[in-house]
Structure 1
Amino acid sequence: MKSPRTTQIVIIAGIVLLVGFLFSQDIKGLVKPKDDATVGMPQEAATPGVSLAEASATAKNLISNAAAKEFTSLESAFQKAQGEEKANQAKVLAQKWDDLEQAIPSALYLEEVAKEQSSLQNWVKAGDRFLKAFDNTQDSLVKPAMLQKANQAFTKAVAIDSTDLDAKTGMGITVVNGMGAPMEGIAMLLDVVKKDPKNFKANMNLGLFAIKSGQFDKAITRFEDLIKNIKATPDAYFYLATAYENLGKNQEAIDAYLQSKKLAANPTLSGFIDKKVAELKK
């Protein structure tokens, strides 16, 4: 029989594997055909980074030759453009890469947009996309670079409007994940929820961080409230099930897992949940 500690390790490992397509994604993003995989490239003196050229080249290896040629043409136009036109070309590239679930080059192009057209909205959008890239990649060099890029984008956004809850939420997420003292990030997210109790992203992250820190009772309360009063999503049910499982409440975990499966209607997630449910019924 597994010890509670062993069970917790197994479940958290499962979260790490699934987080790329569950965490803060719409249903269309629950499954990605291939994981992003890029090689870290030195971009700034003491800071590991990912160059736009390298990210694009790596992503092109994951798509069809016809699509890759289209991107090469669009990138050529981007390189030749100036000012507003350059920003517009970057927007097109960012959207097209996002449509293919290639968050890393998409985020880097959104950063280019924000540099050309600095605004609260543009920096928040870039920060959110960098967080998506951070969640999706398991590359040990790229992951911290994406988190740092996200933090930098949200720092720019907060500098423009320190009261904006989206910017503050993004900043809190990056701080908890390693860009500062974790409790400082938690405080930011709690402040967001205090001002906007139905803020989905802040509540979702507080619940997830409660699981990561082993506070499963708090996680259950957070996710149950989120599902009942804010929005019932596949990932909310999945994490609720995870918390229940860690407390040995197998039937509650099974019910929540099956709700996640039903809402997601995703073959990859369904297969994982079917195996999980079978284990819990033993």
Structure 2
Amino acid sequence: MKKSQIIVLAIGVVSIAVLFSLPTAVVDNDEGDTQIRSEASTDEETPRNLHEAEISQDVRERIASLAIKLEGIEDKEEISSLADLLAEEYTQAGKFDSAAYYLEQAAIKIDDVKHWEKAGSAYYEAYTFALNEQKIALLADKTRSYLNKVLDKDPSRLDLKTKVAMTYVSSNNPMQGITMLREILEEDPTNEDGLFNMGVLSMQSGQYKRAAERFEELVRYHPDNIQGQFYLGVSYFESKQTNKAKKQFQEVKNMTQDQMVLASVESYLERL
């Protein structure tokens, strides 16, 4: 599950903008059919050229200086440090694809598990914000290429397997992704990412009773998961379980001070 994203809902809007590790997706009848999209871009061109017009002058100058240094060094520690700095600059600018590009350069030059994971996770971050179908496919492929290398070394990394699974869900072979998510839950029935993602997929396909079951499991094992608590309320609301929805939304109000979440909760309570 991504570390910093929260639920965003416009007041009075029932449809949900899922900003949580989920790209375009098509799934089977158990979890339904759904499409989830967000925004970013990627390219094989140098990111400095790709995003130059979208980044402030001072940031461009810092990036140019760091990139030149990166191109001319061989020391692995320096390569890793400079790639991290470049990735941080691009991440702060909201250019996740470019952040991933430089972490990939470090992974290519250093070629170890640590840097494979950094590159793969960064490409997955960019992937979850991608809109263009071609870029979604490219970012998904990059994600898999690096994270699968880590999984080959350590198959127990279910957190990375979940990310790989979600890239398959949006591919031409969505059942491979669904199968992987089910395997994760078979191996670890309390897995937070697995339960969350299966619940959201059910929501997006309109299978709200099934979604409620997934989120009930999620919050039973992970009661501090505010996103899961909120989506459980929405699932109750959409499946006409009015009393449960009221109780659940009140529970969410007691769990967070986030004004966007609270406003969204109030918009649902007004409908009940």
TM beyond 0.5: yes
Match of 1:31 in 2: none
Which whole-Å CA distance do the structure 2 matches of 1:23 and 1:100 have between them? 19
Cα distance change, pair 254–79 in 1 and its aligned pair in 2 (3 A):
farther
Distance 1:222 1:86, change over 3 A: same
Instruction: Say which of 149, 153, 159 aligns to 2:146.
Output: 153
Could you tell me which amino acid in structure 2 is paired with residue 19 of structure 1? V
Distance 1:266-1:90 versus aligned 2 partners, 3 A rule:
same
2:207 counterpart of 1:208: no
**Unpaired runs of at least 5, structure 1:** 1-9, 25-34, 41-49
Distance 1:100 1:201, change over 3 A: farther
Matched with 1:248 is 240
* 1:99 to 1:227, Cα distance in 2 relative to 1, 3 A: farther
Aligned counterpart in structure 1 of residue 190 of structure 2, from 194, 198, 211: 198
Please report how far the alpha carbon of residue 141 of structure 1 lies from its aligned counterpart in structure 2 after TM superposition: 4.1
Provide the rounded CA distance (Å) in 2 between the counterparts of 1:222 and 1:187: 16
Aligned length: 244
Partner of 1:223: 215
- Residue 247 of structure 1 deviates from its aligned partner by 0.8
Change (3 A) 1:258 1:70: farther
Question: Residue 81 in 1 paired to residue 73 in 2?
Answer: yes
Other-structure match for 2:229: 237
Given the superposition, is the C-alpha separation of residues 251 and 154 from structure 1 closer, same or farther in structure 2, using an over 3 Å criterion? Answer: same
Residue 53 in structure 1 maps to residue 46 in structure 2: yes
The TM-score with structure 2 as length reference comes to: 0.73
Asked if 1:109 is matched to 2:108, the reply is no
Provide the residue aligned with 1:47 in structure 2.
none
Deviations 1:16-46 (A, max 9, x none): xx323x448xxxxxxxxxx8543x5xxxxxx
C-alpha distance 231-93 of structure 1, shift in aligned 2 (>3 A) = farther
Closer/same/farther in 2, CA of residues 202 and 90 from structure 1, 3 Å limit: same
Q: Cα gap change, 1:76/1:273 in structure 2, threshold over 3 Å: closer, same or farther?
A: farther
TM-superposed deviation, 1:145: 2.4
**Residue aligned with 2:106, SS:** helix
Provide the rounded CA distance (Å) in 2 between the counterparts of 1:227 and 1:136. 26
Gaps of 5+ in 2: 1-12, 23-37
Q: Is the 8 A contact 1:130 1:150 kept in 2?
A: yes
Report the Cα distance in structure 2 between the residues aligned to 1:61 and 1:266, rounded to whole angstroms: 33
Assess, with a 3 A threshold, how the Cα gap between structure 1 residues 36 and 219 changes in structure 2: closer, same or farther.
closer
The answer to whether the Cα contact below 8 Å between 1:148 and 1:179 also exists between their aligned partners in 2 is: no
Distance 1:58 1:254 in 2: 48
Kindly indicate whether structure 1 or structure 2 has the higher relative contact order, using CA contacts under 8 Å at least 6 residues apart.
2
Residue 143 and residue 272 in structure 1: after superposition, are their counterparts in 2 closer, same or farther (change >3 A)?
farther
What are the superposed Cα offsets for residues 197-223 of structure 1, whole Å, 9 maximum, x if unpaired? 332222221222222333322321221
> Is 1:167 aligned to residue 160 of structure 2?
yes
* CA pair 228-201 structure 1, distance change in 2 beyond 3 A: same
User: Could you say which residue in structure 1 is the equivalent of 2:91?
Assistant: 98
Residue 154 of structure 1, CA deviation? 2.2
In structure 1, the partner of 2:123 is 130
Give the superposition deviation at 1:228: 2.5
8 A Cα contact 2:165 2:181, kept in partner:
yes
1:271 Cα deviation after fit: 4.6
Cα deviations by residue, 1:76-107 (Å, 9 ceiling, x for unpaired): 22222235133331122223333454322222
Residue 19 (1) aligns with residue 11 (2)? no
